[in-house]
Amino acid sequence: MAKLEPAPMMTRLRRLNMAAYAPFIALLLLVIFSSIASDTFLMPRNITNVLRQVSYTGIIALGMTFVIIAGGIDLSVGSMVAVVGVLTIMIINGAGDGWWAVAMAVSSAIALGGVFGALNGLIITRGKVASFIATLATMSIFRSMALYISDAGEMVSTNAHFSDIGGGYLWGIPYPVWVFLLLAAVYHILLKHSAFGRHVCAIGSNPKVASYSAIKVRWVYFQTFVIAGASVGIAAVLLTSRLNSISPSDAGIFYELDAIAAVVIGGTALSGGKGTIWGTVIGVIILGIINNMLNLMGISPYLQGMVKGLVILIAVLVQFKGDR
List, in sequence order, every beta strand (DSSP E) within the chain: 155-156, 169-170, 173-174, 245-246
Does 218 interact with another protein (rule: CB under 8 A)?
no
To the nearest 10 degrees (0 to 180), the angle between helices 301-323 and 255-265 is 40
Per-residue interface string for the shown chain with another protein, residues 266-285, x marking contact by CB under 8 A: -------xx-----------
Per DSSP bridges, beta strands 173-174 and 169-170 are: antiparallel
247: number of Cβ within 10 Å: 18
Q: Which C-beta is closer to another protein: that of 126 or that of 192?
A: 192
Query: Which residues have a Cβ under 8 Å from the Cβ of 14 and sit 6 or more positions away?
Result: none
Q: Which C-beta is closer to another protein: that of 117 or that of 273?
A: 273
Give the three-state DSSP class for 169: strand
- The answer to whether 123 and 57 have CB atoms below 8 angstroms apart is no
**What whole-number distance in Å separates Cα of residue 303 and Cα of residue 73?**
27
**What whole-number distance in Å separates Cα of residue 128 and Cα of residue 121?**
10
- Helix (H) / strand (E) containing 89: helix 77-95
Answer for which of 33, 148, 169, 212 binds another protein (CB under 8 A) is 212
Shortest Å distance, C-beta 131 to another protein: 21
**What whole-number distance in Å separates Cα of residue 66 and Cα of residue 32?**
31
Shortest Å distance, C-beta 215 to another protein: 8
Q: Which C-beta is closer to another protein: that of 126 or that of 198?
A: 198
Does 126 interact with another protein (rule: CB under 8 A)?
no
Answer for which of 39, 132, 193, 219 binds another protein (CB under 8 A) is 193
Does 161 interact with another protein (rule: CB under 8 A)?
no
Does 321 interact with another protein (rule: CB under 8 A)?
no
In one letter, which amino acid is 286? I
Per-residue interface string for the shown chain with another protein, residues 6-25, x marking contact by CB under 8 A: xx---x--xx----------
Q: Which C-beta is closer to another protein: that of 126 or that of 216?
A: 216
Q: Which C-beta is closer to another protein: that of 189 or that of 303?
A: 189
Does 324 interact with another protein (rule: CB under 8 A)?
no
**What whole-number distance in Å separates Cα of residue 57 and Cα of residue 55?**
6
End-to-end, the C-alpha distance of the chain in Å comes to: 32
Q: Which C-beta is closer to another protein: that of 170 or that of 214?
A: 214
Does 4 interact with another protein (rule: CB under 8 A)?
yes
Does 194 interact with another protein (rule: CB under 8 A)?
yes
Residues touching another protein, count (CB under 8 A): 31
User: Whose CA is closest to 286, among 322, 309, 311?
Assistant: 311
Q: How many residues does the chain have?
A: 324
Shortest Å distance, C-beta 60 to another protein: 25
Answer for which of 38, 53, 93, 206 binds another protein (CB under 8 A) is 206
Binding site for another protein (CB under 8 A): 1-7, 11, 14-15, 189, 193-195, 198-199, 201-202, 205-206, 208-216, 273-274
